[in-house]
Amino acid sequence: ILRHWFGSIPLGTDRRRRNFIYCLTDGEQINTVSNAEEYIQKAETFIKTNVHKKISVSDVAKYIGIDRSYLTRLFNEYKKTSPQNYIISLKMNTAALYLKNTNASVTETAQSVGYYDTHIFNKTFKKQFGVPPTTWRQKQIWEQSIIGK
């Protein structure tokens, strides 16, 4: 019965949900926001820990123990981005640091962030930074040479 009533409250009415839970618990405060924030924190930790692997939103949701669509809603609400975009952005930023601070090839860099298809890595990197990884690295080297002098 509770699931029926709780499920019938529209998703966009958080105040109604909180009031409903408040009534069910005889006024005991339940902090649902902290649960959501805890899920986000666990997701971020999992993604950062596994940035070197090929991971999906489903992998993250499964690790946390929540539904994939719920994880997506949480990310959209709290991070203002989807979990998939968060994963890609973190991987591309990690790859950029790797390109900047090592002499590793683009293929090695791609593999270091869980991309085993260099073409897809190049395309994704270019989408994020506006230029392919090789060009980005050359620009970084050039900028360092100017700043260093």
Whether the full predicted model's pTM is greater than 0.85, yes or no, is no
pLDDT for the residue 143: 83
146: part of which helix (H) or strand (E)? helix 133-148
Q: At what angle do helices 118-129 and 133-148 cross, to 10 degrees?
A: 50
Say how far apart CA 27 and CA 40 lie, in whole Å.
27
Separation of first and last alpha carbons in the chain: 72
Say how far apart CA 116 and CA 109 lie, in whole Å.
10
Q: Supply the DSSP symbol for 80.
A: S
Say how far apart CA 17 and CA 7 lie, in whole Å.
10
Structure tokens at 75: 């990310």
pLDDT in tens, the chain (149 residues): 444 444 444 444 455 555 555 555 555 545 555 799 999 999 999 999 999 999 999 999 999 999 999 999 999 999 999 999 999 999 999 999 999 999 999 999 999 999 999 999 999 999 999 999 999 999 988 887 787 65
